[in-house]
Amino acid sequence: LSGEILPKLASLTRLKFLDIAENRFSGNIPAEFGALTNLQHVNLAGNGFQGRIPAFFANLTNLKMLSFQNNQFSGEIPSGLGTLINLTDLSFAQNKLSGTVPPTLGNLTRLKTLSFAKNTLSGTFPPTLGSLTRLTTLGVRDSGANCSVESGQSCVVKQTSSSLFCYWCSDFCSYCVPISNPLPMAPPPSSPPSSGLSLGAIIGIVVGGILVIGLLAIGMLLLYKRRSTKAPEKSNPQAGDGSFKEESSMPSHAHMCQRYSFAEVSKATDNWAEANHIGTGGYGEVYRGVSPSDPSVVWGVKRAKILTNDFRREVEEMASKSHPNLVRLLGYCVHIDMATEHHEQIVIYEFCSNGDLEKYLSGGPKKGSLSLEQRMEVVVGVARGLEYLHQFDIVHRDIKPANVLLDANMQAKVSDFGLVRMTEGTTVNPTRVVGTPGYVDPAYSRTNKATPMADVHSFGVMMLEIMLTKPVVMHVNGGTNIRDWVAERVQLGEVDALKDPHLDTVPSELLLKLVELALQCTSLPASSRPHMTEVVAQLVAMKREFVKDGGSAKKSRMQKIDDEVAMRKTGSNMEEELELLDEMLG
């Protein structure tokens, strides 16, 4: 989407979630936005918005997340933003902001992440930032304000009673080494000098101390790297020694994540208790855990059964992608026990309380329990998640129900998307075909080259499985793929044979359209398949046409609107989208 934001969007006064990131919007933010007082999440990142940050944002007091990142905003940071006391994430990074950091930001005591990186700010950080006791990440690189950060993508902080201490983080927080130099903050006017030493002596001591500690840190890193290169190749990790203690967290939308120690993850899972063991996936054992810093946050913890040399890059890839239909990465752990040469690679996801989609399709008490509305929400959600990944040339390569998780609101989230290789150009050449029999694209199997069309094929197979509640391999003729069985039924005109007995309300016309779309997704050659953008557009059109208002269906759509603004990135008419949302909201 491009152009300027339509002021009509402000008519959606019940809106809670507005995410128009990574588009090509430009111009100023309409003043009418100030009426959207129910907003809790606003992500404007990755556009071309210009001008000053509007002062009316100070009126949106329900905001919890606010990102102006990667735009062309200029001028000073509005001091009124200090009234948004519910904020936990705030980013001004990658703009053209000038002036000093307003002291009022110290009122945002719930902040966990705050970034000023890559701006043209001046002065020093106000002492009021020392009151941000929950702050875990402070992005200051190239901000223009005065902070002694030697390297790295952000200034990771450890909170003390009155000041923030910087850590040098290199290569996306793989190694975090304390430098022990406090974040320089402008002292209060009445602060008396703390030492009788001259300014020159103080500077000499500080500079000398930093140099000594920096040399020690470099020596430790070189020693560790030398040791790690002597380890067997199969256990060669891509991240640092577990002896370094990480204190910071970096959210996925900021392209980073928190690194935890093995002790912290073990404690979170109650020492890998059997009661917390959820199951075994393609990546490894899966556990339920509780965040050590916030007991209300539940984790999904995946423990690798096969170590990979690409772990760091895969984690970075997962952390850099944020979408409502992707499982959010919360952290990771690399554990190295030098004495036993035991290595661990662990990823930590948001926990989805309704489990994976597979249990709603295979045998068990929940088989066939999904309503038509829920099934449509799931297929649309997965399609949107894949569409987002394909924009970055990322091929999942293992789309199946077990890799689709359902959160507390039954919203579908694609998982394990970062545990595959990013395509080089348009293809990737792995040493073996990755995927699950029945879902793997035949073209991928023959050529060993995965393109986004491989995901389109797997999605088509899974869509048939979702709508028909039939196994991917049918027990007919010695075992027939569901795709071939369905194609034969359609060719013979036996559409009624496709209906799920658990779902007798599905209109035959809708079922036929869904089946035809799924067959298009699985057609050969692969070049004849639709892209996920086209798939999303067709599914959304079907949902609008066949899923009528009333009852639980309307409630589900209302929840969807509250959770996510469907600002399509397909070049669709934005005016029509807003009219539809307005009609739904009554």
Torsions phi, psi of 465, nearest 5?
A: -65, -40
CA R_g for the chain: 26
> Quick one: CA dihedral 154, 160, 161, 163, positive or negative?
negative
Cα-to-chain-centroid distance, residue 45: 14
Q: Which of 241, 398, 441, 455 is catalytic?
A: 398
DSSP string, 171-198: TTTTEEEEEEEEPPBPPPTTPPPS--S-
Q: Is 398 a catalytic residue?
A: yes
Using the CB atoms, write b or e for 377-396: b if 16+ within 10 Å.
bbbbbbbbbbbbbbeeebbb
SS3 assignment, position 356: strand
How far is 347 from 331, CA to CA, in rounded Å? 6
How far is 305 from 338, CA to CA, in rounded Å? 19
How far is 325 from 155, CA to CA, in rounded Å? 30
Nearest CA to 462 out of 407, 416, 517 is that of 517
What's the angle, vertex CA 293, arms to CA 289 and CA 295, rounded to 5? 50
Relative orientation angle of helices 508-521 and 532-546, to the nearest 10 degrees: 180
Q: Which residues have CB under 8 Å from 218's CB, separation 6+?
A: none
Task: Map tokens 């393609």 to a residue.
Answer: 282
How far is 542 from 253, CA to CA, in rounded Å? 31
- Length of the chain in residues, anyone? 586
Which token pair is 293? 């810093």
* Amino acid sitting at position 439: Y
Alpha-carbon separation of residue 494 from 116, 476, 497, 519 (angstroms): 61, 16, 6, 15
How far is 83 from 239, CA to CA, in rounded Å? 40
How far is 495 from 486, CA to CA, in rounded Å? 9
DSSP 257: -
Nearest CA to 20 out of 580, 584, 570, 567 is that of 567
Partnered with residue 412 across adjacent β-strands are 406
Which token pair is 441? 């694209």
Cβ–Cβ < 8 Å for 425, 393 = yes
Which token pair is 117? 């990186």
Alpha helices in 288-413 (DSSP H): 311-319, 372-391
How far is 411 from 377, CA to CA, in rounded Å? 7
Q: Which residues have CB under 8 Å from 484's CB, separation 6+?
A: none
Cα-to-chain-centroid distance, residue 358: 22
How far is 538 from 124, CA to CA, in rounded Å? 53
Q: How crowded is residue 554: how many other Cβ atoms within 10 Å of its Cβ? A: 15
Catalytic site positions? 398
